[in-house]
Amino acid sequence: MEIAASDRRSLLSLIDQFHRQTIVVLGDLVADEFIQGEISRVSREAPVLILKQRGKQILPGGGANAANNLIDLEARAEIFGFVGDDASGEALLTYFQAKGAATGNIVRKPKHVTPTKSRVLGGLGHGHWQQIVRVDREPEGAPDEMTRRKLSRSVLGALPRATAILVSDYGYGSTSPREAEYLRQRLPRQDFPVTADSRYNMLAYRRLTALTPNESEMEAAFGQPMASSIETLHKFAAGMLRSSSLRALLVTRGREGMVLYQRQCSPHLLPIFGSDQVADVTGAGDTVIAAFTLALASGASFVHAAMVANCAGGLVVMKSGTATVTRRELRDAIQNA
């Protein structure tokens, strides 16, 4: 993606405002666990590899990853969500406390399972780690409506100091379209940015500032494959802007980049930033919505916010695992684009 000199100045000016922003992150807090093992031999009991464990790491995933990206972009993240009284929940709390982030709004629920995605990675010696299998541990049921509303009410106390709200709905029930509407009706001003990333319930989110789905989520929402047809995507997006009363829609398309849709505007295509030789797409959508929301909170137009998000997404997919982009990395990349 080429950046004109005038756009570059605007984007760099926006990034310089990141440290002044406070973003409320409401949603599903996920633990991404990575277990690295060196391949030693094939089991005699079954045709499977035996790994000698060499490392283990738990990183923030889902809404927690969006918050982690905001922190590394030097904004303040007010995190609202649930974790369980388990090792994964403890690991997330410890992680954020070590980074100096407030964890007082993260509710630790007894007998609740923190959603955890465990990825087993195998390698030979010092070679590249390759994912072999993923094991998900999920709560058996979602928090009830009263519990969700209590969490949403706690967000109200943060709104006077917040500059945007980011809703991360991975389907684990920490929030919902109804809770987003509850907050929208209590915003401090009409132009207050509220963005959402919803894995399974995207069409139910209405009257927000913007949504940031990927192309496969659009296909699932409309029940129709796009077969890489940009015209079909344009049609779906235009209908969604109208029916959901959104101001904007930012659709990520992997190696094809992104498309920004706004009311009464032509689609704005953004080619991929950087190389198309992707290392890992794990959590890239969280980076995109974090950078997009933060740019809007800093006063960006939708086009400039999408450019910032595109740059951040292009940088993070070059890293392995659930990764983040720092403010300095983003600034240097735009400066040198």
| Beta bridge pairs of residue 58 | 33
Q: What is the pTM of this model?
A: 0.94
pLDDT on residue 255: 85
pLDDT on residue 277: 66
pLDDT on residue 202: 95
C-alpha 6/C-alpha 191 separation (Å) is: 25
| Cβ burial 81-111 (10 Å sphere, 16+ → b, else e) | bbbbebebbbbbbebbeeeebeeebbbbbee
C-alpha 153/C-alpha 148 separation (Å) is: 9
286 labelled catalytic: yes
Q: Domain map of the chain by residue range?
A: 5-336
C-alpha 99/C-alpha 101 separation (Å) is: 6
C-alpha 233/C-alpha 251 separation (Å) is: 9
pLDDT on residue 172: 96
Mean pLDDT of successive 10-residue segments in the chain (337 residues)?
A: 88 97 98 92 90 92 98 98 96 96 94 94 80 93 93 97 97 96 95 96 97 93 82 93 97 92 95 74 91 98 97 90 92 92
Count the helix, strand and coil residues of the chain and give each as a percent rounded to the nearest 5. 35, 25, 35
Which of the following is catalytic: 144, 197, 286, 332? 286
pLDDT on residue 102: 92
pLDDT on residue 137: 95
Residue 69 contacts by C-beta under 8 Å, 6 or more apart in sequence?
286, 287, 290, 291, 312, 316, 324, 325
| Architecture of the domain whose range is 5-336 | 3-Layer(aba) Sandwich (3.40)
Helix 63-72 crosses helix 284-297 at what angle (to 10 degrees)?
Answer: 50
Residue 135: Cβ within 10 Å count: 11
C-alpha 37/C-alpha 254 separation (Å) is: 29
The token duo for 229 is 């047809």
pLDDT on residue 319: 86
Sheet harboring 29-42: ordered strands across? Answer: 49-62, 29-42, 116-123, 130-137
pLDDT on residue 150: 97
Q: How far is CA 313 from CA 7, 54, 191, 259, in A?
A: 18, 29, 25, 13
Which position has the token pair 């132009």? 191
pLDDT on residue 280: 66
